[in-house]
């Protein structure tokens, strides 16, 4: 009888999970967009004074693998902030993204009980594990042994009671005065991978500890979350608000419903001003600080530009809404983050549009809806697949909307483009050869994670786009998006898409595949640097000695020719195809393509006039090239730039000295 009940339950749960519907809740999507493996029904109450959460969670987990699963693993990310012994706090030394933890303002999460739907108590079988570094004091991964396995394609439903304490926000989640950014706040089940999925060689849980330089990874599902806060609080969350109820005890409960997402975050604050705008089918909601309401149009413009660009060049945005949260003063640690259909940006009163940090962050975090939110790569193991790909698209969006040289800064004649900033972020590293882009997130040496996963990846992808062409790049990325949306791709899948599409478009122009490119720039650490080493012009020597009659010039051929030699060098170890443009005194220009293989290559020309200057990579395709200054050489170098800036510098030094002289 018990077996029958269990089978009935499993079948109905399976059907229920696939439908993804709450009883009575109208579905957002006619058909599920994702496998809906991990589905949550959560009720949570925020105690704004104590900064705590009381939560009751029903998790319906579907086993997608062909194997029986005998244990479950959960992320308890908040325990990273429980004390200074966690892996996160040890690795970060209490610092994250430029901010520091506040001593005494710890966080944490406690699973009070965990039971199956037929009331089997699993609480005693919980234990913390540390699969990455063996740190026994790290409590960010919880293993729960099951009394019986979940069969292939089976489903298990669990009731989990938990309490959480939010830390003072410095690393994405927590509070700042009366503002609460509640992210990674509930026991979240890991991802079960079977042999052949991503990098798995056997069936295993992919459930890493929370490290200082990693983010998150989880399965898609349906979320129904009822959030109870003090009634004056404005709440924003993943998904759509479907109900609001005022309670008799001075609180209010807001219910949110989200389908085909893999995380749920929310925020609450009594201060927010709620502003709305529309882009096609998408409602944009901005939650702004009252003193910064005048900055809201900047967010709307940036997110709309991102929506337009990504819809055109990648694929449709499937959700009906996006919420943009502007964290208040004192809670900047919550800014610059992405959650499904909710992002946090960051602005400052008085900072005008000359410095486009607010736009850049908004465009970047929205882009994560695609790279992370829909194409759900593993942010622990393949951080570059979301951060780097997204940074690449950020450059495209910002350039298109705000200009190539002004998309980051445009102030008093000084312009800096987003892509320039990205390139500088990579090449300006103390050691740009620190580690391959594809390093697992927590294994990066100090200082490498951000610059390599974000900046180098973006520079590499921009270089690739310049080599293969924008149309080809779009074709690949559209295919990659279509093929891997609502799934979990890895590096192999990304590269495979290129190797499939590019030969179809370009035949063997770039070889039979692009592995030569990816091996060097994704998996390697070498630098790229091409240089025009020298230009020389000479009159060819007249033939002397035994002269063959066939060497005599044919009639009608022009006058005395000059022989010009342009020497180009490969200073770095990366070999990429590159163009060489040579300009002659009579105005003629010649463009040659070099495969970039040899260390030194000479190009010789016989022309009626001398070569005046030469440029390797004249269109600046190789964004990863370490130095643009040595990409060109002139036989008669221009003196004006030096004179101009010497005059300017003289003037400013005279003024600076005179300023200090006032005191004397």
Partner 1 sequence: MNTVAIIRGALRRTGSSIRLVALLYILNLLLALPLALAFRDFMTRALGDSLAGNQLMTGFDFTVVRDALAKDGAGWFSLTRMLVWSIPVYLLTSIFLTGGVLSFLVHSQTRFSPAFFFQECTTYFFRFLKVFLIFGASLLLLALTLGLLLLVLLGLVTLGSPSEVTLITVFLLCAAIFLFPALLLFLAADYARIFVVTSAERKMWSAFREGIRFVRKEFFPVLGLQALLLLFPAVFAIAYLLLEGAIPMVSGVTIILVLLFQQAYVISRMWTRVLFFAAQSALYITRAVP
- Where does this chain bind partner 1 (CB under 8 A)? 177, 271, 289-292, 328-330, 348-350, 405, 413-417, 420-421, 423-424, 427-428, 613, 615, 626-634, 637-638, 640-651, 653-658, 660-664
- Which strands form 562-570's sheet, in the order they lie side by side? 530-538, 562-570, 600-607
Q: Cβ closer to partner 1: 298 or 304?
A: 298
Q: DSSP string spanning 135-197?
A: -TT--SEEEEEEEEEEPTT-EEEEEEEEEEEPPBSSSSSEEETTEEEE-S-S-EE-EEE-TTS
Nearest approach in angstroms of CB 306 to partner 1 is 23
Q: Are 129 and 30 in contact (CB under 8 A)?
A: no
Nearest approach in angstroms of CB 652 to partner 1 is 9
Nearest approach in angstroms of CB 626 to partner 1 is 8
Distance CA 276, CA 285 (A): 5
Q: What tokens does 318 get?
A: 């499937």
Distances in Å between the alpha carbon of 240 and those of 259, 285, 637? 9, 11, 62
Q: Cβ closer to partner 1: 22 or 273?
A: 273
Nearest approach in angstroms of CB 135 to partner 1 is 36
Q: Cβ closer to partner 1: 19 or 654?
A: 654
Nearest approach in angstroms of CB 286 to partner 1 is 17
Distances in Å between the alpha carbon of 516 and those of 88, 384, 459, 525? 36, 19, 17, 14
Q: Cβ closer to partner 1: 233 or 494?
A: 233
- Per residue, the 3-state secondary structure of 482-532, as one string, reads HHHCCECCCHHHHHHHHHHHHHHHHCCECECCCHHHHHHHCCCCCCECEEE
- Per residue, the 3-state secondary structure of 286-333, as one string, reads EEECHHHHHHHHHHHHHHHHHHHHHHHHCCCCCCCEEEEECCCCCCHH
CA angle 622, 626, 632 (to 5 degrees): 75
Nearest approach in angstroms of CB 650 to partner 1 is 4
Residue 580: closest CA among 570, 592, 572: 592
Q: Cβ closer to partner 1: 14 or 421?
A: 421
Q: Cβ closer to partner 1: 181 or 207?
A: 181
Q: Are 520 and 527 in contact (CB under 8 A)?
A: no
Nearest approach in angstroms of CB 531 to partner 1 is 10
Nearest approach in angstroms of CB 632 to partner 1 is 4
Nearest approach in angstroms of CB 178 to partner 1 is 8
Nearest approach in angstroms of CB 295 to partner 1 is 12
Pairing of strands 342-344, 321-325: parallel
Distance CA 74, CA 209 (A): 10
Distance CA 612, CA 536 (A): 9
Q: Cβ closer to partner 1: 8 or 645?
A: 645
Q: Cβ closer to partner 1: 62 or 423?
A: 423
Residues comprising the chain, all counted: 664
Dihedral class, residue 659 (left if φ above 0, else alpha if ψ from -120 to 50, else beta):
alpha
Nearest approach in angstroms of CB 329 to partner 1 is 5
Nearest approach in angstroms of CB 250 to partner 1 is 21
Nearest approach in angstroms of CB 459 to partner 1 is 12
CA distance between the termini of the chain: 98
Q: Cβ closer to partner 1: 371 or 426?
A: 426
Q: Cβ closer to partner 1: 349 or 600?
A: 349
Nearest approach in angstroms of CB 99 to partner 1 is 15
Q: Cβ closer to partner 1: 200 or 348?
A: 348
If one counts every other C-beta atom within 10 angstroms of the C-beta of residue 553, the result is: 8
Distance CA 11, CA 17 (A): 10
- Per residue, the 3-state secondary structure of 334-394, as one string, reads HCCEEECCEEECCCCCCCCCCECHHHHHHHHHHHCCCECCCECCCCCCCHHHHHHHHHHHH
Q: DSSP string spanning 412-424?
A: TTEEE-HHHHHHH
Q: Cβ closer to partner 1: 29 or 652?
A: 652
Q: Are 603 and 566 in contact (CB under 8 A)?
A: yes
Q: Are 172 and 183 in contact (CB under 8 A)?
A: yes
Q: Cβ closer to partner 1: 557 or 663?
A: 663
Q: Cβ closer to partner 1: 15 or 642?
A: 642
Question: Which residue stretches of 526-599 are H helix?
Answer: none
Q: Cβ closer to partner 1: 248 or 640?
A: 640
Nearest approach in angstroms of CB 534 to partner 1 is 9
Distance CA 201, CA 370 (A): 28
Q: Are 491 and 500 in contact (CB under 8 A)?
A: no
Q: Cβ closer to partner 1: 504 or 656?
A: 656
Nearest approach in angstroms of CB 291 to partner 1 is 4
């Amino acid at each position: 009888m018990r077996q029958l009940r269990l089978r009935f339950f499993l079948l109905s749960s399976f059907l229920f999970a696939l439908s993804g519907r709450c009883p009575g809740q109208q579905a957002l999507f006619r058909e599920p967009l994702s496998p809906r493996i991990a589905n949550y029904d959560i009720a949570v109450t925020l105690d704004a004074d104590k900064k705590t959460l009381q939560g009751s969670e029903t998790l319906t987990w579907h086993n997608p693998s062909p194997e029986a699963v005998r244990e479950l693993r959960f992320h308890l990310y908040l325990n990273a902030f429980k004390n200074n012994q966690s892996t996160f706090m040890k690795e970060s030394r209490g610092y994250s993204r430029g901010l520091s933890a506040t001593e005494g303002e710890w966080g944490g999460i406690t699973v009070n009980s965990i039971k199956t739907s037929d009331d089997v108590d699993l609480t005693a079988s919980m234990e913390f594990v540390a699969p990455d570094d063996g740190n026994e004091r790290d409590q960010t991964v919880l293993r729960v042994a099951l009394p019986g396995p979940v069969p292939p394609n089976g489903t298990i439903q669990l009731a989990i009671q938990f309490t959480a304490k939010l830390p003072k926000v410095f690393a994405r989640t927590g509070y700042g005065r009366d503002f609460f950014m509640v992210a990674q706040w509930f026991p979240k089940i890991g991802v079960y991978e079977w042999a052949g999925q991503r990098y798995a060689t056997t069936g295993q849980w992919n459930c890493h500890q929370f490290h200082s330089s990693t983010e998150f990874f989880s399965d898609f599902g349906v979320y129904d979350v009822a959030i109870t806060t003090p009634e004056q609080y404005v709440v924003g969350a993943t998904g759509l608000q479907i109900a609001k109820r005022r309670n008799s005890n001075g609180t209010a409960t807001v219910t949110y419903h989200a389908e085909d997402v893999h995380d749920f975050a929310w925020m609450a604050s009594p201060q927010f001003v709620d502003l709305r705008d529309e882009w096609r089918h998408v409602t944009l909601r901005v939650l702004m600080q009252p003193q910064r309401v005048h900055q809201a149009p900047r967010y709307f413009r940036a997110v709309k530009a991102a929506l337009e660009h990504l819809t055109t060049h990648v694929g449709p945005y499937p959700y009906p809404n996006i919420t943009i949260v502007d964290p208040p003063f004192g809670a900047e640690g919550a800014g610059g983050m992405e959650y499904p259909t909710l992002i946090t940006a960051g602005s400052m009163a008085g900072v005008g549009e000359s410095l486009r940090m607010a736009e850049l962050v908004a465009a970047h975090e929205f882009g994560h809806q695609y790279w992370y939110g829909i194409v759900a790569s593993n942010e622990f193991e393949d951080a570059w697949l979301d951060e780097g790909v997204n940074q690449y698209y950020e450059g495209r969006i910002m350039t298109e909307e705000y200009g190539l040289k002004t998309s980051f800064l445009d102030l008093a004649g000084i312009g800096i483009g987003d892509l320039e900033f990205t390139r500088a972020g990579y090449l300006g590293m103390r050691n740009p050869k620190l580690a391959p882009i594809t390093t697992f997130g927590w294994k990066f040496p100090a200082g490498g994670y951000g610059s390599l996963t974000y900046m180098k990846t973006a520079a590499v992808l921009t270089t690739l786009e310049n080599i293969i062409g924008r149309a080809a790049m779009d074709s690949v990325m559209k295919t990659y998006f279509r093929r891997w949306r609502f799934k979990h791709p890895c590096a192999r899948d990304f590269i495979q898409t290129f190797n499939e599409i590019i030969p179809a478009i370009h035949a063997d122009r770039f070889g039979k595949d692009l592995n030569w490119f990816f091996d060097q720039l994704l998996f390697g650490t070498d630098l790229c640097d091409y240089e025009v080493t020298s230009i020389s012009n000479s009159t060819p020597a007249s033939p002397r000695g035994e002269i063959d009659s066939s060497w005599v010039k044919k009639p009608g051929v022009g006058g005395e020719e000059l022989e010009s030699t342009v020497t180009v060098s490969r200073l770095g170890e990366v070999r990429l195809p590159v163009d060489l443009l040579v300009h002659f005194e009579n105005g003629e220009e010649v463009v040659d393509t070099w495969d970039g293989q040899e260390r030194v290559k000479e190009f010789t020309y016989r022309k009626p006039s001398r070569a005046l200057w030469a440029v390797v990579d004249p269109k600046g395709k190789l964004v990863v090239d370490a130095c643009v200054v040595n990409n060109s050489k002139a036989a008669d170098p221009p003196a004006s730039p030096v004179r101009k800036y010497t005059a300017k510098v003289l003037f400013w030094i005279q003024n600076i000295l005179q300023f200090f002289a006032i005191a004397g």
